[in-house]
């Protein structure tokens, strides 16, 4: 077709395009999307509100009380939802899915990990699952490095001194371990594991090791050597856990594997609490069988204030803040929201979880 009047074409496009967009979001406006926490990032909420009827709990999904209130509220709000935007501290259970009803198409978890989702139930019902990997790798890797420094440089003991007003600056009391010249072993060279290695580039690490299901091309690029778990455990000064929680990885750090570590080993966990058998970790730290540990994740979360792990001077704990930066949480929210848009408008998910 030869276009003789460009002005008419532009005007037509100008009229037709918004009409079709409006028609599209009008069509999806009757779809209900449930958001599981009151603090879902505004940028993600905006994406959802442009397309759907958004229903959001007024509760924060934290602490035992918050979780109970939120769960009860969500059970009331969930019927008729076409998609769920879900935070990882509340399980996607059979009970919730039963309540939601057969029109539910997608669970969009606002996390990289999806161990809180009942995959068998989702699969059986043909409900899709998306997560938010990659956008959080840098933030989580930075917390891993914070934990390495915190555990190696005895932040727990040293902060306690500051609070007591007694600074024991002698040689024995506060000296820690160097990252310089150390061997760093990464369990799981995925997005987060790779980001840890990249961020340690200036720390003069002597050797990077990694383990996992298979050797990865990124390992070569990063100068990390692929080894089996036993070799990593016996040779590493820092052992960084950056794997998802599965039946295979549950309690991978236990009495036996702790027994293979060097006496100066420092265990870092940014994955999930259950990667570590905490009883065995407690014993190993208490008996100074290993040097220290740094945990961003524990079982349970929050760790009760009187939990025996918190009595250990050589443990540095953070309250699961790996992805907790303004920018990263916003990116996670927008990614989760766009997964919902795609799922409910017949497009492929951006970050699907293979069920």
- Nearest to ligand DGY of 113, 333 (CB atom): 113
Residue 23 Cβ vs ligand DGY, minimum distance, rounded to whole Å: 36
Asked if 80 and 56 touch (Cβ cutoff 8 Å), the reply is no
Query: For strand 224-226 and strand 292-295, is the pairing parallel, antiparallel, or unpaired?
Result: unpaired
d(CA 193, CA 88): 20
Give the binding-site size for ligand DGY (rule: CB under 6 A). Answer: 7
- Nearest to ligand DGY of 113, 185 (CB atom): 113
196 binds ligand DGY (CB under 6 A): no
Helix (H) or strand (E) holding 128: strand 128-130
Residues labelled catalytic: 320
Residue 113 Cβ vs ligand DGY, minimum distance, rounded to whole Å: 3
37 binds ligand DGY (CB under 6 A): no
Query: For strand 53-56 and strand 266-269, is the pairing parallel, antiparallel, or unpaired?
Result: unpaired
CB neighbours of 207 closer than 8 A, spacing ≥ 6? 183, 184, 225, 235
Residue 182 Cβ vs ligand DGY, minimum distance, rounded to whole Å: 25
d(CA 10, CA 143): 51
- Nearest to ligand DGY of 57, 109 (CB atom): 109
Residue 159 Cβ vs ligand DGY, minimum distance, rounded to whole Å: 24
Look at residue 112 and give its three-state secondary structure: coil
Residue 85 Cβ vs ligand DGY, minimum distance, rounded to whole Å: 14
Site string for ligand DGY, 294-333 (x = CB under 6 A): ----------------------------xx----------
Helix (H) or strand (E) holding 11: helix 6-29
88 binds ligand DGY (CB under 6 A): yes
- Nearest to ligand DGY of 81, 323 (CB atom): 323
Asked if 102 and 79 touch (Cβ cutoff 8 Å), the reply is no
Residue 325 tokens, joined:
């930066």
138 binds ligand DGY (CB under 6 A): no
Residue 329 tokens, joined:
């949480």
- Nearest to ligand DGY of 90, 233 (CB atom): 90
- Nearest to ligand DGY of 195, 233 (CB atom): 195
136 binds ligand DGY (CB under 6 A): yes
Look at residue 241 and give its three-state secondary structure: strand
Cis peptide before 302 (omega within 30 of 0): yes
Site string for ligand DGY, 99-118 (x = CB under 6 A): ------------xxx-----
Cis peptide before 19 (omega within 30 of 0): no
Binding site for ligand DGY (CB under 6 A): 88, 111-113, 136, 322-323
């Amino acid at each position: 077709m030869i276009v003789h009047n460009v002005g008419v074409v532009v005007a037509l496009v100008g009229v037709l395009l918004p009409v079709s967009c409006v028609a599209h979001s009008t069509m999806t406006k009757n779809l209900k999307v449930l958001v599981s926490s009151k603090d879902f990032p505004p940028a993600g909420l905006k994406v959802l509100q442009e397309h759907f009827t958004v229903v959001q709990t007024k509760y924060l999904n934290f602490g035992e009380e918050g979780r109970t209130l939120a769960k009860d509220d969500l059970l009331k709000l969930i019927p008729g939802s076409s998609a769920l935007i879900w935070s990882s501290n509340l399980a996607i259970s059979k009970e919730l899915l039963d309540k939601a009803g057969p029109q539910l198409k997608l669970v969009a978890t606002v996390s990289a990990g999806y161990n809180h989702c009942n995959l068998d139930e989702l699969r059986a019902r043909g409900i899709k699952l998306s997560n938010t990997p990659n956008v959080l790798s840098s933030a989580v890797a930075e917390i891993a490095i914070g934990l390495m420094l915190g555990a190696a440089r005895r932040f727990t003991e040293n902060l306690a001194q500051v609070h007591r007003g007694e600074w024991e600056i002698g040689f024995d009391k506060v000296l820690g371990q160097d990252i310089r010249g150390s061997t760093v072993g990464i369990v799981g060279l995925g997005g987060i594991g790779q980001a840890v290695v990249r961020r340690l580039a200036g720390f003069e690490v002597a050797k990077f090791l990694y383990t996992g299901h298979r050797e990865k091309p990124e390992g070569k690029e990063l100068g990390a050597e692929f080894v089996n778990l036993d070799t990593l455990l016996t040779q590493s000064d820092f052992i960084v856990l950056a794997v998802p929680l599965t039946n295979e990885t549950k309690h991978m750090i236990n009495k036996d594997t702790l027994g293979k570590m060097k006496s100066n080993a420092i265990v870092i966990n940014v994955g999930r609490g259950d990667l570590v058998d905490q009883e065995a970790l407690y014993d190993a730290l208490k008996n100074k069988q290993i040097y220290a540990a740094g945990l961003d994740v524990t079982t349970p979360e929050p760790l009760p204030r009187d939990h025996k792990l918190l009595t250990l001077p050589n443990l540095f704990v953070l309250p699961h803040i790996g992805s907790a930066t303004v920018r990263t949480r916003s990116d996670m929210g927008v990614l989760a929201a766009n997964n919902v848009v795609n799922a409910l408008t017949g497009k492929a998910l951006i970050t699907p979880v293979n069920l």
